[in-house]
Amino acid sequence: MSAKKPADKRQNRSTKDLGVLPQIALDPAAIPPAPSHLTDRWVKSWEIFWRSPFAQVVQPAQMPALERLFSMYDERERMDIYLREEPMISGSQGQKILNPMYRQRTSVDAEIRQLEDRFGLHPKAGLTLGIVYGEAARSLEELNARIANAAFAEAEAEADPRYIEAGNDSAEEATLLVADQ
């Protein structure tokens, strides 16, 4: 899926961006309870998510998918612990083989990535959903300040006696000018 075009370049101008997600203080009592089977680490991550701007775009119908995402985070962590303990197992003939759980972990990773994309949990996915991040939503004043600083730096370079304009002198003449100074 490709990222959305900037609003002023779209043919269908009725497609709206979500815009910059403001940080809105959330009442701790309004945070939905984390699924009961999550470890403490993922319960804390659940609470952090609900205090973040991303929680503002979650609709009630999306709650099962969000719970599944956090369940998969927890499951993947448990798989990692198990795979560190037993990376190799005995095959049917007694030979050592790579633990088949590695394949299962790969499919869990793929599902996690898809769910993260749907919730806009990394910058590219957020831009695809129309979420404008702080860096992407720079103010006009900041851009004007950058342009002014660039013009100032260029003026400084022209005032430098060591500055030689390209095109006015040949390379040999430029070398002589530098040698004379």
Q: What is the pLDDT of residue 111?
A: 97
Mean pLDDT check: name the lowest of 57-71, 86-100, 105-119, 159-173: 159-173
pLDDT of residue 43: 95
Given a cut of 80, is residue 41 above it in pLDDT? yes
3-class DSSP string for the chain: CCCCCCHHHCCCCCCCCCEECCCCCCCHHHCCCCCCCCCHHHHHHHHHHHHCHHHHHCCHHHHHHHHHHHHHHHHHHHHHHHHHHCCEEECCCCCEEECCHHHHHHHHHHHHHHHHHHHCCCHHHHHHHCEECCCCCCCHHHHHHHHHHHHHHHHHHHHCCCCCCECCECHHHHHHHHHHC
Asked if residue 3 belongs to a domain, the reply is: no
The answer to whether residues 77 and 146 belong to one domain is no
Closest-CA residue to 87 (of 78, 97, 95, 77)? 97
Considering only residues 158 and 88, tell me which one the structure prediction assigns the higher pLDDT: 88
Q: Could you tell me if 30 and 102 lie in one domain?
A: yes
Q: Is there a domain that residue 4 lies in?
A: no
Give yes or no: residues 39 and 117 share one domain. yes
Are residues 34 and 81 part of one domain? yes
Q: Are residues 89 and 29 in the same domain?
A: yes
Regarding whether 166 and 115 lie in a shared domain, the answer is: no
pLDDT single digits (tens) 101-143? 999 999 999 999 999 988 888 777 776 766 665 544 455 556 6
- 47 and 121, same domain (yes or no): yes
Q: Of 112-116, 135-139, 154-158, 167-171, which one has max mean pLDDT? A: 112-116
Position 137 scores a pLDDT of 47
pTM assigned to the model: 0.59
